[in-house]
Amino acid sequence: MRHLFAWTGLGLCLAVVLAATLSPTPIDQGYESAIERVLSILHRNGAPGWFGYRWLEFSANIAMFVPLAYFLSLVFPTRFLWLALPLVPALSVALETLQFFVLPARFATVNDVVANTVGGWVGVAAAAATVAAVHARDRRVLQKWRERNVVGVRESVG
């Protein structure tokens, strides 16, 4: 079940990330006024003045890679979950390289690689925490099962 969940989530997230990063035009093109309205609302509700378009874009890049890396991590067996750590920046570098060489209207930046990597590593950490929590729960369930069965065997023998 874990792998079905992981592969399905990874496929959906990868489709979104590829659509967002490899579209021929910047994803925010034509939405400048909507972005300004969102920033205005954020500032009215406590966001600091320095949080402008560049920080919003940086945050969006982080947010985009969190679920992608989460599901990527879960497709690996538990002992190989760490393999997602180098794959996240490699994927980001590959996407930015494609933007640079193939999509002239797009802007490939090191900041995007940094943001994607940060978000990806947060996703890997969340996946590791999820796996650890599931394993801990499984150990508790097995321990309770053993205790019940050992007590049941003692009662039937004794």
Residue 30 tokens read as 């034509």
- 3-class secondary structure per residue, 6-66: HHHHHHHHHHHHHHHHHCCCCCCCCCHHHHHHHHHHHHHCCCCCCCCHHHHHHHHHHHHHH
Q: Which residue has the tokens 């890049």?
A: 61
Distance, CA of 45 to CA of 52 (rounded, Å): 14
Position 147 scores a pLDDT of 86
Beta-carbon neighbour count of residue 116 at 10 Å? 27
Q: For the chain, what percent of residues have pLDDT higher than 70?
A: 95
Rounded mean pLDDT of 120-134? 97
Distance, CA of 67 to CA of 57 (rounded, Å): 17
Query: What is the pTM for the complete model shown?
Result: 0.86
> pLDDT at residue 59 above 70?
yes
- pLDDT tens digits, 85-123: 999 999 999 999 999 999 999 999 999 999 999 999 999
